[in-house]
């Protein structure tokens, strides 16, 4: 552990003005230390010598860090960090509309119906049923999954559905659970209860009650006594209708 700490401290020191005993040949005295410089130095560093001599931080001249080019307001307003590679595009995005139609046609070709197309970052979930409304069996569901993948593959260079999503094919669930995009649209304005997950304490849950406003690819929005509450989709355990609202 001491050897590792010594290397970390020494590497950090190279990003500021290094003390004389850490000086090494560089392109010029005023050149910035690059990542390659640090890597090369660490590969050849004499750790035992570093531990023996130590590093006197008083010998290191401090430098100001460059200004971070981040829009703080925009950063704070978003519950997500990182690049979603387009998977957070709006539900009406043209590539989603075209991909959904391809899926519906592929499912219809094997004698089933596509009851719903549900998007979330990294997942495309399709709900299928038989023409008489019954749920398909496991083999029929697997056939639908294979048909969808086979239909999407030739278009993946431009639509990039399979490159960015896992495909899930399911049958309709319990009537009081809102699990499909069609149901989210149908029950806008209805009272719902949302079970949320605690991202830090995995066992903790919280239930929020309000009126359903909308569901996007990344969030569920409900009206809680006049206040709009946006819940990140990855923290939503389930959205359920109260018993009186089940239809």
Whether 49 maps to a domain, the answer reads: yes
State what percent of residues in the chain have pLDDT above 90: 44
Which residues span the domain enclosing 232? 181-245
Whether 235 maps to a domain, the answer reads: yes
Whether 75 maps to a domain, the answer reads: no
Same domain, 192 and 155: no
What value does the mean pLDDT of the chain take? 79
The span from the CA of 94 to the CA of 127, in Å, is 21
Total domains, the chain: 3
Same domain, 99 and 159: yes
Compute the C-alpha angle 230/213/117, nearest 5°: 95
What pTM did the predictor assign?
Answer: 0.57
List pLDDT tens digits, range 138-171.
Answer: 889 999 999 999 999 999 999 999 999 999 998 8
Q: Which of 24-28, 36-40, 88-92, 93-97 has the highest mean pLDDT?
A: 93-97
Same domain, 52 and 118: no
Q: Is the torsion defined by CA of 135, 141, 147, 153 positive or negative?
A: positive
3-state secondary structure of 112: coil
Least confident of 2-11, 16-25, 73-82: 16-25
Determine how many CB atoms are found less than 10 A away from the CB of residue 216: 16
């Amino acid at each position: 552990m001491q050897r590792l700490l010594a290397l970390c401290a020494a590497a950090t020191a190279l990003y500021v003005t290094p003390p004389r005993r850490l000086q090494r040949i560089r392109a010029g005295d005023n050149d910035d230390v690059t990542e390659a410089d640090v890597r090369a130095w660490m590969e050849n560093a004499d750790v035992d010598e570093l531990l023996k001599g130590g590093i006197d931080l008083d010998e290191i001249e401090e430098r100001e860090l460059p200004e971070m080019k981040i829009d703080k307001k925009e950063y704070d307003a978003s519950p997500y960090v990182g690049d979603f590679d387009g998977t957070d595009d709006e539900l009406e995005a043209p590539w989603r509309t075209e991909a959904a139609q391809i899926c519906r046609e592929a499912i219809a070709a094997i004698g089933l119906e596509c009851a719903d197309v549900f998007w979330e970052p990294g997942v495309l979930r399709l709900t299928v049923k038989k023409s008489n409304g019954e749920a398909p069996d496991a083999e029929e569901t697997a056939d639908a999954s294979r048909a969808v993948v086979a239909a999407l593959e030739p278009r993946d260079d431009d639509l990039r559905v399979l490159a960015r999503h896992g495909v899930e094919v399911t049958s309709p669930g319990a009537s009081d659970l809102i699990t499909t995009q069609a149901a989210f649209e149908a029950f806008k304005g209805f009272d719902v209860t949302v079970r949320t997950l605690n991202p830090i304490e995995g066992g903790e849950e919280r239930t929020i009650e309000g009126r359903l406003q909308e569901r996007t690819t990344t969030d569920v929005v409900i009206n809680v006594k006049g206040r709009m509450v946006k819940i990140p989709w990855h923290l939503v355990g389930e959205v359920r209708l109260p018993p009186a609202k089940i239809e």
